Structure 1
Amino acid sequence: MSGRLILAGNVIADLVIEVPALPERGGDVIATRAGTTAGGGFNTLVAAGRLGTEAVFAGLHGTGPHGDLVRAALAAEDIATLLAPRTDGDTGFTVALVDGEGERTFVTSFGVEATLTRADLDAVTASLRPGDLVQLSGYGLVLRDNGPLLADFTAALPTDITVCLDPAPLVADIPEAVLAPVLARTDWLSANAREARLMTGLDDPRAAATALRERLAPGAGVLVRADKDGCWLATPGRPPVHVPGFPVAAVDSNGAGDAHVGAFLALLGQGHDPLTAASAANAAAAYAVARRGPATAPDRRALAEFLGEHPLARALFGTGGR
């Protein structure tokens, strides 16, 4: 049986606004489309759940319109919530501006998820089972009160729990005293090229993957996501491997990185080797960016159809790509 994916992070509301281009400072632009959906770590949980891994939200959620939206979205995807709703505030939100090339720019306003307590994390720890995968995000580590608590929580996790860290766009703002113990316990680090550059000072994703691998424990691995170019996979004792992407016409990159992380962890937890899981994660992310909306990761059938007769389909689903 595969382990569950436990998100010890944030699921918030995404106000997604599509614009032809970002306005100049002090300027304005007319949106072509807008809508509010569940976002943040929701996309990671959805990607894992649709590929057959049990997904659990172990973060905070509030009482109000955003909290109601998040809980409804989680329930629609059969994703359980571990902690009870907070009654002292609402869930936060992100404004995601998606430009004409599909690139996204964020502004985030946190709600109750910024008020994590040790008791909350004790409840998460008590719920864990051997073989579970715990997903952390830099969005939690950057918060003044949450960061130290999450660092202590992560450092104390037993060795039969797999820890994955997505450093997120604000990684440069995470205090070293918080980031260092998390990296020391991280089994898999999945970063996009910008985040990898911020963490290493290196523009080349291959070199950044190498440098990041050296910052982790001896048995840990690294993925540096390179959008349409796929990703770089760095595992112990081997040079980084380029895992090719799947060319598609991108219409919305919002949530693509989360889809990649969720798919990778789901398939890794189901017993696939890291290279197969990384290639499948590339395919899941490509599928997602070719569709509008943040939670557009494929289920197993959709991924099999997307892959067609690609050899990866046989590795994942057996003969005939199913």
Structure 2
Amino acid sequence: MNGRLVLAGNVIADLVIEIPALPERGGDVIGTRTETTAGGGFNTLVAARRLGTEAVFAGLHGTGPYGDLVREALAAERVETLLPVRTDGDTGFTVALIDGGGERTFVTSFGVEATLTRSDVDTVAARLRPGDLVQLSGYGLVLPGNGPLLSGFTAGLPADITVCFDPAPLVADIPEAVLAPVLARADWLSANAREARLLSGHEDPRAAAAALRERLAPGAGVLVRADKDGCWLAAPGQAPTHVPGFPVDAVDSNGAGDAHVGSFLALLSQGHDPLTAARGANAAAAYAVTRHGPATAPDRTALTNFLTPDPLANSLFKTKPH
């Protein structure tokens, strides 16, 4: 396949605050560490890029301190920006609260990325290449202006483009008229257990994976991410399979799902089968949660060292980075 990972979504600023525990309603808590970084879809792009897949940001970025931060971070990871700088506002931000157990809670304030236009999506569509992988997030679909535009854009993509949809935490708020065309076109759906439950009505991740594949087109596949338990893979034409995780001491789960998605798509683009790519993605996500910060996916060397002496390391990296 050897295509690019193209993010048709948002890269925003993450204002990360580590806290012992979430305060009660109306209460307060003292943060133990703070950091401002690029976040959102940035983590997915970084995960793919570090494993040797070309990555492109096809979303909006604004004028101001957060827009500058995003562009600098993308450039540092050698990720191309496809659309020009918007001069009518700044990039948005998320406040990410990381509690003592490593779980994250978000509050998001959108900026210019919430003001997508028809011209923007037409520009992105015209610059895609055969073999590209387009990553779409529910964060974009939930926005009243962006959602219909991104839904129509996705539905119209040619068959030589692979589409991956990550429904994101706000999936329950996506209008069905926007969601249905995306599910009909998606080649892969990657969701965490909560998102899969909201979409399928099933608590059990295996049942959720099976039910979600029935909502997709024939030939599409599903991943249900189960944190430390790895993931459930419903590959095209196969029964859902449990892909075990890698036991680690998690310190920060912020961006772990994005690391999983980006690594999975990168490994698929390099010619690996879905099961091998899912195992590699589990390893990348496990590596990421052992480090502070949102964009902590491993590069090829770090992932190889993490997997040693697992024989998966040899099979994953027989393909050279490009």
Q: Is the TM value for this pair above 0.5? A: yes
Rounded to whole Å, the distance in 1 between the matches of 2:80 and 2:239 is 39
For residue 211 of structure 2, what is the aligned residue in structure 1?
211
SS in 2 for 1:179: helix
Which amino acid is 2:201 matched to? Answer: G
For residue 107 of structure 1, what is the aligned residue in structure 2?
107
- In the TM superposition, residue 239 of structure 1 has moved relative to its aligned partner by 1.2
**Equivalent residues in 2 for 1:76-155, closer than 5 Å:** 76-155=76-155
Question: What are the Cα deviations for residues 207-255 of structure 1, in whole angstroms up to 9, with x where unaligned?
Answer: 0000000000000000000000000000232210000000100000000
TM-score (norm 1): 0.98
For residue 291 of structure 1, what is the aligned residue in structure 2?
291
TM-score (norm 2): 0.98
Rounded to whole Å, the distance in 1 between the matches of 2:148 and 2:289 is 34
5+ residue gaps, structure 2 = none
Question: What are the Cα deviations for residues 155-190 of structure 1, in whole angstroms up to 9, with x where unaligned?
Answer: 000000000000000000000000000000000000
Report how many residues are paired. 319
5+ residue gaps, structure 1 = none
Rounded to whole Å, the distance in 1 between the matches of 2:174 and 2:33 is 33
SS in 2 for 1:15: strand
For residue 278 of structure 2, what is the aligned residue in structure 1?
278
Which amino acid is 2:182 matched to? Answer: V
Which amino acid is 1:71 matched to? Answer: R
Aligned residues of 2:256 and 2:285 also touching (Cα < 8 A): yes
Rounded to whole Å, the distance in 1 between the matches of 2:33 and 2:301 is 29
SS in 1 for 2:107: strand
For residue 312 of structure 1, what is the aligned residue in structure 2?
312
Aligned residues of 2:21 and 2:99 also touching (Cα < 8 A): yes
Moved over 6 A (4+): none
- In the TM superposition, residue 318 of structure 1 has moved relative to its aligned partner by 4.4
Aligned residues of 2:219 and 2:237 also touching (Cα < 8 A): no
RMSD: 0.9
Rounded to whole Å, the distance in 2 between the matches of 1:89 and 1:276 is 42
Rounded to whole Å, the distance in 2 between the matches of 1:135 and 1:14 is 20
Question: What are the Cα deviations for residues 258-285 of structure 1, in whole angstroms up to 9, with x where unaligned?
Answer: 0000000000011000000000000000
**Equivalent residues in 2 for 1:231-242, closer than 5 Å:** 231-242=231-242
- In the TM superposition, residue 70 of structure 1 has moved relative to its aligned partner by 0.2
For residue 265 of structure 1, what is the aligned residue in structure 2?
265
For residue 300 of structure 1, what is the aligned residue in structure 2?
300
